Amino acid sequence: MQAYQRSLLPLADIITPNRFEASKLTGIDIDSSSESAMEQALEAVDILHNMGVRIVVITSFQIASLKDQLACILSYKPSPRSDCNVDYGPIKPPLPEAYMIRIPKLDCSFTGTGDLFAALLTGWLRNTNFDIKKSFENTTNSIHEILEDTFSWYRRVNDGSVQSQELRLVQNRAHIICPKQIRFIAEKIVFP
């Protein structure tokens, strides 16, 4: 873990850990059964920004008051690094631009959602000329459409196999290219 923290994270521009991974990387326990899960997640995001990561997304975690929903947060902080010649002089560096999206929780576990999230976010950042909010919304909505279809397939097949829980990417290529509908909107959040 220390090798990641010392050597790899300072080189990363974007990371997309889930709740468990973010907790391990930062030492901050993001307790999904707690009302303070959001504050804990933002504390973890701040630590990751301070390690040099510019875009941090915690892809899913639960907040006690949001029983049937998961929260996903994205934070972008332009940060001076050794490979950048940014001098803020006497003024403070800009605060992070941060958003949260709430999505309905599906009663199934899936394989490959983290990899899909990272790939879609990277593609959308490029295709939107680095529009953070739009990229986050498109990524989250695409993934949720794919998960809903996969969940529907899983319930129809209902054979308990791991294969029935694998993401139906080929069948949902249109949702990968562009979400059918933007149902989940990114809400601006402010660091405490």
Decide: 140 and 116 in contact? Cβ < 8 Å: no
User: Which has the closest alpha carbon to 191: 25, 41, 20?
Assistant: 41
Given 29, 115, 149, 159, the catalytic residue: 115
- Say how far apart CA 28 and CA 37 lie, in whole Å: 10
| Half-sphere exposure in the Cβ direction for 114 (13 Å, CA) | 15
Angle between helices 37-50 and 19-26 (to 10 degrees): 50
- Our answer to whether residue 115 is catalytic in this structure is yes
Report the helix count and the strand count for the chain, using DSSP H and E.
Answer: 6, 5
- Say how far apart CA 188 and CA 108 lie, in whole Å: 29
- Say how far apart CA 174 and CA 73 lie, in whole Å: 25
The count of other CB atoms within 10 Å of the CB of residue 87 is 6
| Residue 150, φ and ψ in degrees, nearest 5 | -65, -40
The distance from CA 108 to its chain's CA centroid, rounded to whole angstroms, is 19
**What residues are labeled active site?**
115
